[in-house]
Structure 1
């Protein structure tokens, strides 16, 4: 009976020995910035483990594995499920397989997944990024062909140029929020809240801009990437601010939390509180009352992102897809 050979050293092994994150190892070995002490620890760990980082550069330039990697925060979220469907549909037409990874909107988990993809020489990635711009800049410099979907990341200084060249497929959140707020203010609402989760800085910025002089920062609340945290954020807002008359949920998980919190706190929608939710998931229309939504073309976002990562030649820097306000019964004039 044959015995298995020794396990190959991975980038994660180097990170553990050096006492740093996978993103830091990737950054150091691809020539990115790091303190002298950190760089020395990483290089010393790589030497002790006899780690050969070919996949961090040379391997990607010389050979490419087939397929596309897709990184999303949550595969159970309706929006990201439809985004995945769009990617799969496009990749199928190119006869390319898709590997899906779930980041949980956690930067370390995302970096670990990217490190693993580098190890496998998979150089085409579609990502809904967490916001760690430095890690993504290092990955791009290492030779990854990256397309951002739904949101993009930035990094100051020396990393800005690498990220500026990464294509992104986004929805027009600014226009969607402006239309929603115009609708609510037209109904007489002035105290309008916003429920957000980590990674939604672009959407929060668009809300603040659309609110203008009506903005009350205390009505902008944040949740972590879990249903329990979303519920706690919504319930806390409803209990803390009795003057709140309308709220916009930044995603369908947050909308679900708002509906549940309102029901348990005996807040009547729309009599006591008007509610608008980002994303038109199937249950929104079946809710009682049916929810007014800012609909996003999630499947189209995925399809266009896959087209960009699979396309050869010149690509647009940003593709912006329209949103649509679908008015149902969850909003009413301020009483």
Structure 2
């Protein structure tokens, strides 16, 4: 029996990424030349995404998939524990994949799960909504956990492609507006947690509060902006990629470029760790010189000197509830669940001096 072409085969033959193939095949945004090339290669290789939906309906294998950015991150480890505990109680196997917070790798794993007829997936998304549309259209039940996929950017608008067509006297068709993905999720109440932390720091007299952000922190950044209010000093919002080296560089650069800041809110435990290390390297005393709050509670936070004030989120519960939703999904569509966060005050914050 001849091997069926995969989404990865199409991407390699077309010279594009797997995420681009997913966007084109699901009707998402792409340049005309890229769209034409991908569709031509898909036809040549006889790649038919619609067959995936038939496979899912005809030979459901049981089990579920779990995609997380980093299994070594303690939060995602707790989330995975919750999923596995719920799946174990239901007698369901779990296929676990780590995306590395890389949208291309995520799209490749989605394609792999589809080809293996895994029809239920819990995911902490790394890519945008377009990466997930083909899977959902194929009949896969998807529950997002911890974060939501980003709304895709229009590449023609971002690159000025439409403007170039107009300059050449060509009528550029208006691309369809980018759409968010309407899929259920289990989330922590980021907004309330961030707002409570900012109010706590403001009550201590802090006015120059910085935010260290990373992949998937869009909602936390938005909550931070809302809590701080106008005018917003954009230099006090700094982003890192998913690596520890990037987190440390972002924290160190922030401390050195803005010696006037008095408090930092780290958007995740890796960023909190980086802030602690960078402050120590730069001889900044916590909380005398700078106050620190970290989003997410981890065991080492209490072992710091001083212990870190944190916004605790229920990682294991997020995973467990997501697994419950994906197991119960059927004719009745699950609703998004938002779980509470809690500010745990320890010794890393003090009054502004």
1:241 counterpart = 2:237: no
Mapping 1:178-193, distance limit 5 Å: 178-193=195-210
Bigger mean CA offset, 151-160 vs 202-211: 151-160
Distance 1:252 1:15, change over 3 A: same
1:79 counterpart = 2:86: no
Distance 1:31 1:196, change over 3 A: closer
Bigger mean CA offset, 211-220 vs 196-205: 211-220
Deviation (angstroms), 1:130: 1.6
What secondary structure, in the 3-state scheme, does the structure 2 residue paired with 1:57 have? helix
Distance 1:62 1:25, change over 3 A: farther
Separation of aligned partners in 1, 2:195 and 2:46:
55
1:293 counterpart = 2:310: yes
Mapping 1:152-167, distance limit 5 Å: 152-155=148-151, 160=179, 163-164=181-182, 166-167=183-184
1:58 counterpart = 2:76: no
Deviation (angstroms), 1:229: 0.2
What secondary structure, in the 3-state scheme, does the structure 1 residue paired with 2:11 have? helix
Structure 1: 5+ residue runs without aligned partners? none
1:138 aligns to what? 134
Deviation (angstroms), 1:228: 0.2
Bigger mean CA offset, 117-126 vs 134-143: 134-143
Note if contact 1:223-1:229 (Cα within 8 Å) is conserved in structure 2.
yes
Q: Pick from 224, 227, 235: which aligns with 2:241?
A: 224
Separation of aligned partners in 2, 1:333 and 1:256:
22
Q: TM-score, normalised by structure 1?
A: 0.92
1:89 aligns to what? 85
Q: TM-score, normalised by structure 2?
A: 0.87
Separation of aligned partners in 2, 1:53 and 1:148:
22
Q: Pick from 319, 325, 331: which aligns with 2:349?
A: 331
- String of CA shifts for 1:205-230, please: whole Å, max 9, x gaps: 01100111363211000000000000
1:68 aligns to what? 64
Bigger mean CA offset, 46-55 vs 129-138: 46-55
Distance 1:232 1:67, change over 3 A: same
Distance 1:47 1:80, change over 3 A: same
Note if contact 1:11-1:119 (Cα within 8 Å) is conserved in structure 2.
no
1:114 aligns to what? 110
Separation of aligned partners in 2, 1:213 and 1:158:
29
Separation of aligned partners in 2, 1:33 and 1:223:
27
Deviation (angstroms), 1:93: 1.1
- The alignment yields a C-alpha RMSD, in angstroms, of 2.1
Distance 1:258 1:105, change over 3 A: same
Deviation (angstroms), 1:40: 3.8
What secondary structure, in the 3-state scheme, does the structure 2 residue paired with 1:194 have? strand
Distance 1:63 1:26, change over 3 A: farther
What secondary structure, in the 3-state scheme, does the structure 2 residue paired with 1:276 have? strand
Note if contact 1:86-1:301 (Cα within 8 Å) is conserved in structure 2.
yes
Deviation (angstroms), 1:29: 4.3
Note if contact 1:192-1:219 (Cα within 8 Å) is conserved in structure 2.
yes
- String of CA shifts for 1:219-270, please: whole Å, max 9, x gaps: 0000000000000000000001111100000000000000000000000001
1:303 counterpart = 2:320: yes
Deviation (angstroms), 1:23: 2.8
Note if contact 2:206-2:262 (Cα within 8 Å) is conserved in structure 1.
yes
Separation of aligned partners in 2, 1:146 and 1:279:
25
Separation of aligned partners in 1, 2:234 and 2:323:
37
What secondary structure, in the 3-state scheme, does the structure 1 residue paired with 2:142 have? strand
Bigger mean CA offset, 122-131 vs 259-268: 122-131
Deviation (angstroms), 1:63: 2.4
1:271 counterpart = 2:267: no
- String of CA shifts for 1:18-37, please: whole Å, max 9, x gaps: 12222333344456665554
